[in-house]
Amino acid sequence: MIPIQIDRKSFLTCLLYEFSREKPAWETYGNFCEVMGADAIKYKEFEVWYYRFSHGNYDLDYDISQEPKTHEISQLPLTIIEKIVENSDFKEQLILRKVSRDLREIVDGQKISCESIQVVWQTDHVKCRFDNQTVLYSKKTNIKCNDENVITLSPRLPMQTRSEKDMVAWDSTCVIRVVDNDYMRIAFTDWTFPLKNPKLKLKSFIFECCGPDKRTGNSKKAALTRKYFDQFEAFLESLNHKISVEKLEIISNNPELYQIMSVLPYLKPGVLKSIRVPGYDLNKEDVDLTDIIQINFDYMYRRAQSLLAAIEKIIECDQWKQAEELHLKHNWDYIPDQHLAHFKKFHITDVFITSDKMIHLRKIFSESENFESCSITSTNGYDFSINLDAIGQSIKTGGMHVLIYHYRIPNSNKFLEFKAYHHIESINIVKKNL
């Protein structure tokens, strides 16, 4: 668009009018340039007027050349730039590395100001959460977001305006929406860049694969999910260091054993304390070759062999062996007992409780020197008493919604306490001293 030719004061009057509509700075600038022309005013000059208007200074005859001279960040000494980067939060560091190659190298060489990363892949968008800052990447603007405050990056704004200026000023509780045809690549670049830094120390990393949607066929769904995990594994494999993460969570709508191995081997053993694996709907019978041979079912035998090989890879990882806390869904008995015994804490969800399963857990926990506690949520909590009678001595509590059972560990001064809550269909198991 050709800039509209009007006198200076009329030009600033139009800018004041746009300001009076009480829109954010980035939207005000975008609307003004859309009407007056993309090159009508430089963003730096716009910032001066916007700041003055915001503070009640409406003198349109003001000579902005009187403003104190400011330096571009690239003009500052290297030591000062490094201090700025070091004291910036992650969102600001993400912006700074987009300014220039030199700044990107400085940011990538500093300790990243980010302690948790969550990536949620959906069919039509990617949602990333860096500490308390959520960024939604999509091709369309009509993607639903449950967060109250959503800011959309307008495609009509210059890149400098969108990324290097206004994002720094946005409140950290807002959700930033990035709309671009190539949103998958942009999202992948943004959430993987901190992982390249060997100084990064994450308290938690959550990788959630919620897509594709239900309309996608099973074979295509499996292929798309595999492609996404393979892309991430290829990136991790390209790094010259293992990532420092205390808690790993992998969630998948299409869970397969390869998914945990796409991430687990690339994390620092010993640093990783907690593991949450996808909800594998497996049972001991699925990997019992003896029973399958007796049935003489070739497909089931080959599947069991494949499952056993995948499980073997997981349990032989140092990351698995040195972790202390395990989150499982549906079941646990497809994993050999001896490869569960080193964990201190367990969290098992969506379990159909039976007497045999409770006896099995009692065996694992009573024989483990490391076990401390386990929480279980059940899908059939109404009959707890039937399934708990077999595991220990009932203790009277006086409460109708709580059942307590004790099991004394043989040749020990400790016991296991099983506490079941009818109203929330859960069981807590704790090792205690006599």
Q: Are strands 325-329 and 274-276 parallel, antiparallel or unpaired?
A: parallel
77 vs 372, higher pLDDT = 372
CA distance 128 to 147: 13
pLDDT at position 291 is 63
Q: Which residues contact 371 (CB under 8 A, 6 or more apart)?
A: 341, 343, 344, 364, 365, 431
Residue 93 predicted with pLDDT over 80: no
Q: Are strands 402-408 and 414-421 parallel, antiparallel or unpaired?
A: antiparallel
pTM of the model: 0.73
357 close to 429: Cβ distance less than 8 angstroms: no
H/E stretch holding 141: none
CA distance readout (Å), 43 to 14, 49, 55, 160, 315:
16, 10, 18, 9, 56
CA distance 58 to 229: 55
9: pLDDT confidence band, cut at 50, 70 and 90? Answer: confident
Residue 287 predicted with pLDDT over 80: no
Residue 3 predicted with pLDDT over 70: no
With the CA atoms of 392, 396, 397 and 401 taken in that order, what torsion angle do they form, in degrees rounded to the nearest 10?
70
H/E stretch holding 406: strand 402-408
Of the ranges 82-86, 177-181, 253-257, the best mean pLDDT one? 253-257
Q: Are strands 175-179 and 133-138 parallel, antiparallel or unpaired?
A: parallel
Q: How many helices (H) and strands (E) does the chain have?
A: 16, 15
pLDDT at position 30 is 77
pLDDT at position 317 is 96
**294-316 residue pLDDT tens:** 555 677 778 888 888 999 999 99
417: pLDDT confidence band, cut at 50, 70 and 90? Answer: very high
Of the ranges 116-120, 291-295, 423-427, the best mean pLDDT one? 116-120
272 vs 144, higher pLDDT = 272
pLDDT at position 293 is 56
- Percent of the chain at pLDDT > 70 equals 79
The DSSP code sequence of 303-336 is: HHHHHHHHHHHHHTSHHHHH--EEEEES--TTS-
pLDDT at position 326 is 96
H/E stretch holding 48: helix 43-54
Which pairs count as long-range contacts for 231-239, CB under 8 Å and 24+ apart, including other chains?
A: 231/188, 232/192, 232/207, 232/262, 232/263, 233/262, 233/263, 233/266, 235/188, 235/192, 235/195, 236/195, 236/262, 236/263, 236/266, 237/266, 239/195, 239/196, 239/266
pLDDT at position 50 is 84
Closest CA to 145 of 168, 114, 178: 178
Residue 160 predicted with pLDDT over 50: no
pLDDT at position 421 is 79
> In the predicted model, what is the mean pLDDT of residues 200-228?
81
pLDDT at position 51 is 82
Question: Which tokens sit at 255?
Answer: 């869970």
CA distance 330 to 420: 18
Mean pLDDT, the chain, rounded, equals 80
339 close to 315: Cβ distance less than 8 angstroms: yes
pLDDT at position 216 is 65
Residue 338 predicted with pLDDT over 60: yes
Q: Is 8 exposed, middle or buried (0-12, 13-18, 19+ CB in 10 A)?
A: exposed
74: pLDDT confidence band, cut at 50, 70 and 90? Answer: low
Residue 167 predicted with pLDDT over 50: no
CA distance readout (Å), 127 to 124, 189, 221, 361, 384:
10, 13, 19, 37, 39
pLDDT at position 87 is 72
